Structure 1
């Protein structure tokens, strides 16, 4: 396989049309079709299905598409490193930030530090859930992320940044404010939680199961805006890490209480590929990001953002 054919294939899948892809690539459609046919012969698989509405990748095509993106990204990194030898760092660096976490507090300080130290680097922030961000890193479509996770996952490397206690967040219309609350008391409320593949949801589910306490999740919500609105209307309550809980008190018209009996915590971690090397600009951003986190106590638990 040569790189040009891979670039053509990725563009065809991205656009979903041979005709439009040919126009964008400034190549005749018959020539583009021939390049695609050559690539299919090389891999001995049909890569796309042609229909009147365009083209869609086959299962084999989807697999090659993911690998092609990673290959082309690494080639771009190599060329960027060669071009930038002896020069100021420049290029694009993608950073994932899990929503509803302390990770979001990193965006502005990181942006300011990068602009000050490496003005040629262009940052791309992607706020998404941990499973999505980790998949993007595995396939080489994202450089790094800060998310709730620290498990051993093939293809990923985690660096622990901080641990946060989980808090119960309740609308003023559904109960009087308190400082602490037991998990048994929490089970008496209607809950809004993220979906079961979310790491924080797993921590919560495991705690309820271990305590033998039945609970009811009336809606699975992964939009912070929707969650704030639902609580503001007094429709139910939620469980969030301390930083996220604090940020939603005013928009959700709510109070927060630390969950005790048992106390629950989640780990916020820096995530990157364990086999795909970072580009020079990405390495620089990684170092700045990690420097923005400093220990608040001697045992390094929890950690907080540097001032």
Structure 2
């Protein structure tokens, strides 16, 4: 097996057509077909299903496709690192930031710091759901991400950056006084929360469960814009981490209350692959990200903990 065959295989799967893949790869289709047949012989498995409409990977082919992407990416990183040894860091680095989290505050400072210290690095920032970002990292298609969560997942590692306390953001029309509010006082309060699979929702549900309560969810919203509009329109209240709660509460006439008895905290972590090494440029960006996160944590006022 060689890397060229793996590249041919990945391109064939990506495009789904040997004819089109051969044109992109600048290789005759019979030659491409022979390379893929040789690859199948090396693995002793049928990797592609060939039909008049194109090619699709078999189960074995899908498995090889995932590994081939990682192998090729690692090889490209090795080439780039060797070429740039002792020189100015350059290359592409991808960073995911979960929207509606404390991570959003890091995007602009990260861009500025990377541009200032490593102007040859091209930074790609992807704001997406945490589940999507973690899958991209697991598949080797993204270098790192800042998202909520810290529980071990196969293929991923989490480095805790900070714990954010949760706040209730309620429309003024509900008559809830600002300051603090116990979870028990939220019985019957109509809440706008994300879907149950969302990390934020999981921590909210766990906080309510600690006092043997279930939140009264009247709508499930995962759009920050729609959520802020719904709260300000009086549709219901929501529960958000401190950084996001400030933004939503500041967008209209809403009341912000720190949730106590129990305090609900959610971990904000740096998510990385637990088996794929970072390139030199990605390592430099990671160091900057950790530095910025530490500054954010230092700037966060200490709040007494209630149990």
Unaligned runs of 5+ in 2: none
Shift of 1:290: 1.2
Secondary structure of the structure 2 residue equivalent to 1:141: coil
Counterpart of 1:193 in structure 2 is 193
Match of residue 178 from structure 1:
178
Q: Is the 8 A contact 1:166 1:239 kept in 2?
A: yes
Q: Indicate the larger mover: 209-218 or 229-238.
A: 229-238
Q: Retained in 2: the 8 A contact 1:81–1:279? A: yes
More deviation, 162-171/149-158: 149-158
Could you list the runs of 5+ residues in structure 1 that have no partner in the other structure?
none
How many residues align? The count is 302
Summarize deviations over 1:59-83 as a string: whole Å, max 9, x none.
Answer: 3232222211111111011000111
Matches within 5 A, 1:1-307: 1-51=1-51, 53-176=53-176, 178-251=178-251, 254-294=254-294
CA contact (8 A) 1:231 1:253 kept: no
Instruction: Please give the secondary structure, in 1, of the residue aligned with 2:34.
Output: helix
Kept in 1: contact 2:138–2:155 (CA 8 A): yes
**CA offsets, 1:113-154, max 9 Å, x none?**
111111111111121222322222223221111111222334
Q: Which moved more, 1:179-188 or 1:102-111?
A: 179-188
Task: Say whether the 8 Å CA contact 2:162–2:297 is kept in structure 1.
Answer: no
- When normalised by structure 2's length, the TM-score is 0.88
Residues 169 and 238, structure 2, Cα contact 8 Å, conserved in 1? yes
Taking the aligned partners of 2:154 and 2:240, their CA distance within structure 1 comes to: 28
Aligned residues of 1:164 and 1:302 also touching (Cα < 8 A): no
The 3-state SS of whatever aligns with 1:92 is strand
CA shift, 1:198, in A, is 2.4
1:72 and 1:242 map into 2 onto residues whose CA distance is 41
Shift of 1:269: 1.3
Per the normalisation by structure 1, the TM-score is 0.88
Q: SS state of the match for residue 249, structure 1?
A: helix
Separation of aligned partners in 1, 2:242 and 2:235: 21
Distance in 2 separating the partners of 1:11 and 1:175? 60
Q: CA RMSD in A?
A: 2.6
Q: Which moved more, 1:245-254 or 1:82-91?
A: 245-254
How far did 1:251 drift? 4.3
Q: CA deviation at 1:36?
A: 2.5
